[in-house]
Amino acid sequence: MIDIAVIGYGFRGKVLSTHLLQMNKNIRISAIVDSRIEEIKGELGNDADNIRFYDTVDELLDREKPDGIIVGTRCSSHAQIAIKVLEKRIPFILEKPVSTRMNDLLALKSAYERSGTEVAVPFSLRLNTLGQAAKEIAESGKLGTIEHVQAINNVSYGSVYFQHWYRDERETGGLFLQKATHDFDMIQYILQLKPTWVSAVKSKQIFKGNKPAGLRCADCEERETCPESAILHRKRGEPVHGEMCCFAADTGNEDSGSAIIQYESGMHASYSQNFFARNKAATRMFRFLGYKGTMEFDYYTNRIQVFMHHTNRIETYEIPVGNDTHGGGDIAVCQSLLDTITKGLPSQTPLEEAMQSALLCLKANKSAETRTFQEIKWTE
């Protein structure tokens, strides 16, 4: 049997462990660390009888020797837990962002270099079917050498970052780390270039206000009229992304941000993200421009178009959607962990690349906060 331990059996820990169980009949969840042990036992029913539960990560790592681990805790703890797992040299999936603070990221880098353990990070943009197809087209030479990138991420479900626990900036590290870490990784995956400088700005124009701290939609006098009301969305049968008031005094996170990144070749990329766009305004679009052609693709349409610059030809690719909520990316990262465990293969989303993305996000944050250009280097 292949024993998998789960550290943090929340939404993501549950999703990834379920995929693993479905992929291989010889996999079993042998141990879980979580603060909600009794609640989880109730969810799992009879399946909980064969799982050992622990209150702390240290306790699990001292008593268990799993073949692999899933780390799906809240963001601020990712790096510190990863360091402990790296010391045990057990391959694992580490949720993004891999760190929310520079000192933790530097410590994680040091631990990873000492350990040499394979770590898979769920960067779904590069792992899913659309990302893989875009990579193939870029490498074909059809575009020429890519010399400019434009990317936009208008998040239709952005209220989750203001109405759920994600509203706490101490947990998220800000929305460059929550969202742009995927997009920055995708750009680097295509370019295969190191970023050298970043300049960024971020704004909080919509999700702010003077409603009482801790106010829930259910307790608000505007619960039947507010466009963000969880009560109103539930009545309409629409998705509900949280129960907290996003116009309260304690609502954290910026609601838009932009960055310009220069790479080692001298080329640059522009990126912008927004969290109050809704419905058909949603897009996660990339444009990679070479001298020969431009490749454009959008994760909301799963379509790639290639515009040739010196002929009138336009090529369109309709990419089948993968079999999970991240376009196949979650299944792919689980397969990567399984391949490491059973075949000794390297991760498809190596930790060194995830750390590079986190570093870029942290530097973008610092740039926005200090109004300075930031060099992308491994220092505070």
- Return the residue matching tokens 């010889």: 26
Share of the chain above pLDDT 90, in %: 97
Give the span between the Cα atoms of 254 and 274, in whole angstroms: 9
185-221 residue pLDDT tens: 999 999 999 999 999 999 999 999 999 999 999 999 9
Determine if residue 322 is left, alpha or beta; phi over 0 gives left, psi from -120 to 50 gives alpha, anything else beta.
Answer: beta
Residue 72 has pLDDT above 90, yes or no: yes
Give the span between the Cα atoms of 21 and 111, in whole angstroms: 29
The fold for domain 2-123+328-349 equals Rossmann fold (3.40.50)
User: What is the CATH class of 125-324+359-375?
Assistant: alpha beta
Q: Note the pLDDT of residue 298.
A: 98
Check: CB of residue 197 under 8 Å from CB of residue 375. yes
Nearest to 322 by CA among 337, 333, 308: 333
Q: Note the pLDDT of residue 4.
A: 98
Share of the chain above pLDDT 70, in %: 100
- Return the residue matching tokens 């020797």: 65
Write out the two tokens for 304.
């790639």
Over residues 63-86, mean pLDDT: 97
Residue 92 has pLDDT above 90, yes or no: yes
Residue 322 has pLDDT above 90, yes or no: no
Question: Across 166-255, where does the E strand assignment appear?
Answer: 195-203
218-254 residue pLDDT tens: 999 999 999 999 999 999 999 999 999 999 999 999 9
When pLDDT is cut at 50, 70 and 90, the band that residue 293 belongs to is: very high
When pLDDT is cut at 50, 70 and 90, the band that residue 326 belongs to is: confident
Residue 380 has pLDDT above 80, yes or no: no
Nearest to 31 by CA among 19, 48, 11, 45: 48
Q: Note the pLDDT of residue 323.
A: 80
| Other C-beta atoms lying within 10 Å of the C-beta of residue 122 | 24
333-377 residue pLDDT tens: 999 999 999 999 999 999 999 999 999 999 999 999 999 999 999
Residue 324 has pLDDT above 90, yes or no: no
Residue 325 has pLDDT above 90, yes or no: no
Write out the two tokens for 209.
């206000």
Nearest to 100 by CA among 199, 184, 158, 174: 174
**Residue 97: is the preceding peptide bond cis (ω within 30°)?**
yes
The full set of domain ranges for the chain reads: 2-123+328-349, 125-324+359-375
Residue 330 has pLDDT above 80, yes or no: yes
Q: Note the pLDDT of residue 280.
A: 95
When pLDDT is cut at 50, 70 and 90, the band that residue 265 belongs to is: very high
Confidence (pTM) = 0.95
